[in-house]
């Protein structure tokens, strides 16, 4: 067998055994995630993780659900989750220039939150609306 056929056969065997052993009947477009799987495998092998346990089904589902690893990032990065509402966002507010009243309200509701984590623009709009409502109620 020539080297090309050997490589193709080996890759087919790997992918075939992967899909035969894992229940992917409820996941659509599985083939779209194969490049992500290759990237994770190469990173793990490069980091010396070749001796670790074989990936489990839950590992693949976690990769598919959050391929860029942004779910727990909570930092002002496009697509990362807002630390307050936990929704992915691409529009971050500058938390370093927030009024003291809004900062106090956020830290009262989220004691572990730090301004360096920032917040999404929708959360900022909500806190600004509440602050405006309180201001008009007191006048």
pLDDT in tens, 111-126: 999 888 889 999 999 9
Tell me: do 61 and 97 sit in the same domain: no
Under 8 Å CB-to-CB from 64, ≥6 apart: which residues?
A: 27, 33, 36
**Per-residue pLDDT tens listing for the chain (139 residues):** 677 667 667 766 766 666 555 555 555 655 566 666 677 777 766 666 555 567 677 776 776 666 666 555 555 778 888 889 988 888 889 888 899 989 999 999 999 998 888 899 999 999 999 888 888 887 6
80 domain-assigned: no
CA distances from residue 1 to 5, 14, 15 in whole angstroms, order as listed? 6, 18, 20
84 domain-assigned: no
Measured CA to CA, the distance from residue 80 to residue 46 in angstroms comes to: 26
Q: Residue 104's domain spans which residues?
A: 92-138
73 domain-assigned: no
Q: What is the pLDDT of residues 125-137, one digit of tens each?
A: 999 998 888 888 8
Tell me: do 18 and 61 sit in the same domain: yes
70 domain-assigned: no
71 domain-assigned: no
Q: Which of 12, 47, 65 is the last residue of a domain?
A: 65
Tell me: do 59 and 11 sit in the same domain: yes
126 domain-assigned: yes
- Which residue, 54, 62, 64, is CA-closest to 30? 64
- Which residue, 55, 79, 64, 67, is CA-closest to 29? 64
- Please give the tally of structural domains in the chain: 2
Backbone angles phi, psi at 115, to 5 degrees: -55, -25
113 domain-assigned: yes
Record the tokens describing residue 41, joined without a space: 């495998």
Record the tokens describing residue 82, joined without a space: 């807002």
pTM equals 0.47
77 and 83 in contact (C-beta within 8 Å)?
no
25 domain-assigned: yes
Q: What string of H, E and C letters represents the secondary structure of 30-86?
A: HHHHHHHHHHHHHHHHHCCHHHCCCCCHHHHHHHHHCCCCCCCCCCCCCCCECCCCC
């Amino acid at each position: 067998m020539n080297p090309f056929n050997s490589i193709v056969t080996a890759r087919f065997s790997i992918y075939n055994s992967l899909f035969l052993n894992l229940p992917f009947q409820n996941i659509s477009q599985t083939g779209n995630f194969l490049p992500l799987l290759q990237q994770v495998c190469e990173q793990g092998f490069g980091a010396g993780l070749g001796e670790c346990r074989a990936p489990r089904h839950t590992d693949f589902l976690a990769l598919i659900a959050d391929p860029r690893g942004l779910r727990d990032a909570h930092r002002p990065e496009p697509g990362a989750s807002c630390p307050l509402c936990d929704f992915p966002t691409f529009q971050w507010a500058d938390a370093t220039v927030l009024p003291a009243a809004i900062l106090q309200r956020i830290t009262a509701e989220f004691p572990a939150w730090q301004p360096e984590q920032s917040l999404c623009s929708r959360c900022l709009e909500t806190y600004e609306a509440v602050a405006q409502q309180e201001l008009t109620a007191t006048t």
